[in-house]
Structure formats: structure tokens, C-alpha cells
Amino acid sequence: MPDPCTRRTAIQLMGAFPVAVSMPFSAEPETTPLGPAEPSSAQEKAQSPKAYDMLRMDGERIITEEEHFGIINGVLTAGINYRDVGTLSGLYAPPFASSDFMLELRLFGEKVPTKKYDWRPIEVRREGELHGITVSTSTILASGRR
């Protein structure tokens, strides 16, 4: 995988998400006499780098207005409300559209305000806190699925 992130690399990664998720950044897989090396613990598996993380952007750097913010997998687009951790608005899968779609996650009847979020082409991770309870969400679109 090339080191610099170009537009071509980004487009290839978005189309090859299922393969890219399980690939390490190294060009060749590590091997042992018994076969390919695999992470020994769940923590190591969770911390392995993902190829699509090259396209990650912190919420502090994003200038897109909330009504134009979303994720796409090539078949489906979802609107993401980033000011709170659990709201989705609008689902678009041409020729179908649901602009009035709204899904809200509430805690004690209140929306949980977002403290931190980051964006990837097919995923948005949000974190917030309400009444001493920390809430985090990951909204992910499955590759090639509606």
C-alpha cells in the first residue's frame, strides 16, 4: 500500500473496504513457521491499524455544516448530526430517498452533546457525556449494502 494518500488511493480504499479492514499497513504479512501471525488478544485485534484510517479527519478540522455532513458506502448515504452522539437524519439510496428519516438516541430524555468526533468515508465516531455517563457511538455503513 502506498504511503501518500492520494485521491486515487482514497477512492480505491472506499471501494475495497472489506479487504482493507483486515490488512495491516505493512506491505507483506508477518509469518511464523506455523503460518501467518495473528494478534494474540482481543485488545491487539482492536488496536490494529485500518487502511481506511488514512482518510480519518478530526471533527475540530471539519468545516461542513451539520445538514451537509454524512457518510457514504457507494450505495447508501446517511446524514450524521455531529452535535449530539446519537442522531441520524436522512437515508439516501438512489432511486430511494428518505429525507424525513430521523433517529435520535436520548439519555434521560435528553440528547447527549458531542465532545469529540471523527469522520471516515464510511464511519463517524462520536463521544459525549451527560449526567456523568460517557456515551460513545460508531455509525458505520456496511460496504456495498443498503
| Per-residue pLDDT reduced to its tens digit, 6-65 | 655 655 555 543 333 333 434 444 444 444 455 555 555 555 566 777 889 999 999 989
| Per-residue pLDDT reduced to its tens digit, 97-121 | 888 899 999 999 999 999 999 999 8
Q: Which residues contact 15 (CB under 8 A, 6 or more apart)?
A: 74
More confident residue, 141 or 51: 141
- d(Cα 85, Cα 35) in Å, to the nearest integer? 42
Determine phi and psi for 91, rounding to 5 degrees. Answer: -125, 130
- d(Cα 16, Cα 144) in Å, to the nearest integer? 10
Q: What is the pTM of this model?
A: 0.63
Mean pLDDT of 116-135: 95
Q: Which residues contact 30 (CB under 8 A, 6 or more apart)?
A: 24, 36, 37
Q: What is the predicted pLDDT for the residue at 96?
A: 86
Q: Which residue has the cell 460496504?
A: 143
β-pair partners for 134: 129
